[in-house]
Structure 1
Amino acid sequence: MTKKLLTMASTLALVAGAAFADDKPKIGAAVYGLNAEFMQIWAQALQNHPAVKQGLVDVTVFDGKYDALTQQDQFETMITQGFDAIIFVPIDIEAGAAAVDAAAAANIPVFGSNTRVNSDKLAAYVGSDDVQSGYMEAKYVLDKIGCKGNVVIIEGPVGQSAQIQRLEGNKKALAECPDVKVLEDQTANWSRAEAQTLMENWLTAHPGEINGIIGQNDEMALGAIEAVKAAGLDPKSFAIAGIDGVTDALHAVKDGNMASILQDGAAQAQGALDLAIAAVLPDYKPMSEIWTAYPDMPWADGKAKEYSVPWTPVTADNVDALLAARQ
């Protein structure tokens, strides 16, 4: 992880009750957790948004610490302090609905980003199709093992929309390969360390039997790679895939140890912030460059309910450019 991102993790956990200028809209971002690089990239993109850098709005990022009750408490804080809009990246698709209801009752618009919440009171959502990514990563693994053999699946936090939808995509791909057996399927909560422990146990329980590893995010795929290496095995002898395009995964793709699909967290964050500002300032025009970067995702005057950020498979042809962008 880069020093810049580590600095972001420590500085973005801004305290509620920070001093705001009275004439600036106050926008809160409630994210499920800031421990890992992907959400640090997402949060950093908010601070790099032109409207924030030019001082047009004040943004506070709340670290949900991977806990639905903590996120609920943070919503109550934002409601009490009179925030003008909220961007929500929930840890739980169902539990997060109560927080959205509370904000709606206080007439505070909530914009979803990255992960979904099961609420019809969400103003709009900016994210990527997790069913599609789950299918793409599993298909890579299955194609590499020739649609036969044994695989394991390392899932995200049970109950989060990305876990639910990526698993749906995983199963869609697996249905196309009836001769492939899923030996193990458990959650590692997006954690590299938890995934490493799972994989160590699975390699012991199924010696020489595992051909493919489907990690529902890069952190968990990287944890699996560490377990494979610790067991004295070559990661290249497995088909391993993850999702997100975090920095260590980009290096692992370059080394030939795994496949990854870039999830543009920066676009998800900045798109949601443009929508939130437009809800508060009716004459506002979007300032993020993402709307020109993704012409297939039009601004639509900020009135659409769904904005879908495309996935970008990480390949030998684009990995160096993606790594350069992280410097």
Structure 2
Amino acid sequence: MKISLNVLLAGALLLGCNKSKNDESKDGSDKKLLIGATMLSMQNEFIVNVADEMEAKAKELNVELITVDAERSALKQVEQVESFIAQGVDAIIMNPCEVEASSPAVKLAMDAKIPIINVNSETSAKPTAFVGSDDTESARIAMKYIAEKLGGKGNILMMHGFMGQAAQLKRDNGAKEILKANPGLKLFAEQTGEWDRAKAMSLTENWIQSYGNQINAIFAQNDEMGMGAVKALEAAGLKNKVLVVSVDAIPDALQAVKKGSLDATVFQNAKEQGSKAIETAVKAAKKEAFDKEVLIPFQLVTKENVGEFLK
């Protein structure tokens, strides 16, 4: 009888220890913040760079981050945000697929009282905060460089990004603003390459067949498309006659600028966008003070200063 009493006492002690440990782990002070992030497309190198930096910053701040790929579908993106809300995340970061079609996701998060931060691209619905750069400015910088190099005269082709996305709309506006100020520059043709290298290469091949030696410059709204244009021009033996300028300064593009095959790119800071998005989301989730708009400047990259941007 005595032995069984000791056994019972030991069991009770063990239970007590376990209980206090469980209670401790349930304590809110121990809880990691959970952030859900939905990205436009993980097939896009610049977006991957932003996502990588978000991951690194989340780790540094001891935050749990769930990143999903919207695969360029605004509908899928809205569903992903719904899923984050159902999971009870503390904040959401969205890299919007489209200005209008991704907007319902912002409303859903706001209605659920979950802070939502738009990174790199915008929606018409106003989120908790925006972290990115002024896309209009990137196109102004690129087109001013083209105008200067061509002496204000020449035939330009413009390659658009994914139609309806904020970057596409704003880069279109910025480029056309400079074209308007330089009447000697003619916009020969414009079409979407959907931010995609292979599609841009194919589009450039078509343009070469249609316009050939009349082309003086191509402005591609991102580097993926700029690299596709360069490849097609090189294959046709026209690269030395046609200026190509694009936006983002992804590693491939920086190497091409160094080599001289891409004339210029406009540096968009993926690292800053990614880290600031996480920092803003964490502050908003903790109800600390945060900036409602974080704008990171663009910089022109040419052969002269490319060394500063190469790792």
**Fold agreement, TM-score > 0.5:** yes
Answer yes or no: is 1:64 the counterpart of 2:51: no
| 1:62-211 alignment, distance < 5 Å | 62-120=68-126, 122-211=127-216
Aligned to 2:240: 236
* Alpha-carbon distance in 2 for matches of 1:27, 1:144: 45
Could you report, residue by residue, the CA deviation over 1:263-320 in whole angstroms, capped at 9, with x for unpaired residues? Answer: 001111111111110112246xxxxxxxxxxxxxxxxx41x32111011221334422
TM superposition outliers: structure 1 runs of 4+ over 6 Å:
none
* Alpha-carbon distance in 2 for matches of 1:150, 1:315: 21
8 Å contact from structure 1 (residues 157, 163) kept in 2: yes
* Alpha-carbon distance in 2 for matches of 1:308, 1:321: 21
Change (3 A) 1:22 1:104: farther
More helix by share: 2
Unaligned 5+ runs, structure 2: 1-28
Aligned to 1:310: 297
* Alpha-carbon distance in 2 for matches of 1:62, 1:263: 22
Q: How many residues align?
A: 282
8 Å contact from structure 1 (residues 155, 186) kept in 2: yes
Q: What is the Cα deviation at residue 322 of structure 1?
A: 2.0
Q: Which has the larger radius of gyration?
A: 2
Could you report, residue by residue, the CA deviation over 1:230-255 in whole angstroms, capped at 9, with x for unpaired residues? Answer: 1122x232111000000111011112
* Alpha-carbon distance in 1 for matches of 2:298, 2:154: 28
Q: Secondary structure at the match of 1:153?
A: strand
Q: What is the Cα deviation at residue 146 of structure 1?
A: 1.5
Q: Secondary structure at the match of 2:310?
A: helix
Q: CA RMSD in A?
A: 1.5
* Alpha-carbon distance in 2 for matches of 1:102, 1:282: 19
Answer yes or no: is 1:263 the counterpart of 2:268: yes
Answer yes or no: is 1:274 the counterpart of 2:279: yes
* 2:55 maps to amino acid: Q
* Alpha-carbon distance in 1 for matches of 2:244, 2:90: 43
Aligned to 1:24: 32
Provide TM-score, normalisation by structure 1: 0.83
Deviates more, 1:109-118 or 1:141-150: 141-150
Identity among equivalent pairs (%): 37
Q: What is the Cα deviation at residue 76 of structure 1?
A: 1.1
* Alpha-carbon distance in 1 for matches of 2:82, 2:32: 20
Q: Secondary structure at the match of 2:205?
A: helix
Could you report, residue by residue, the CA deviation over 1:141-184 in whole angstroms, capped at 9, with x for unpaired residues? Answer: 12211111211000011100000000000001101211222111
* 1:127 maps to amino acid: G
8 Å contact from structure 2 (residues 36, 66) kept in 1: yes
* 1:53 maps to amino acid: E
8 Å contact from structure 2 (residues 264, 303) kept in 1: no
Q: What is the Cα deviation at residue 22 of structure 1?
A: 7.8
8 Å contact from structure 1 (residues 236, 256) kept in 2: no
* Alpha-carbon distance in 2 for matches of 1:305, 1:199: 40
Unaligned 5+ runs, structure 1: 1-20, 284-300
Q: Secondary structure at the match of 2:264?
A: coil
8 Å contact from structure 1 (residues 243, 263) kept in 2: yes
Q: What is the Cα deviation at residue 104 of structure 1?
A: 1.2
* 1:29 maps to amino acid: A
Aligned to 1:249: 253
Q: Secondary structure at the match of 1:107?
A: coil
* Alpha-carbon distance in 2 for matches of 1:212, 1:251: 20
8 Å contact from structure 2 (residues 142, 300) kept in 1: no
* Alpha-carbon distance in 2 for matches of 1:61, 1:46: 9
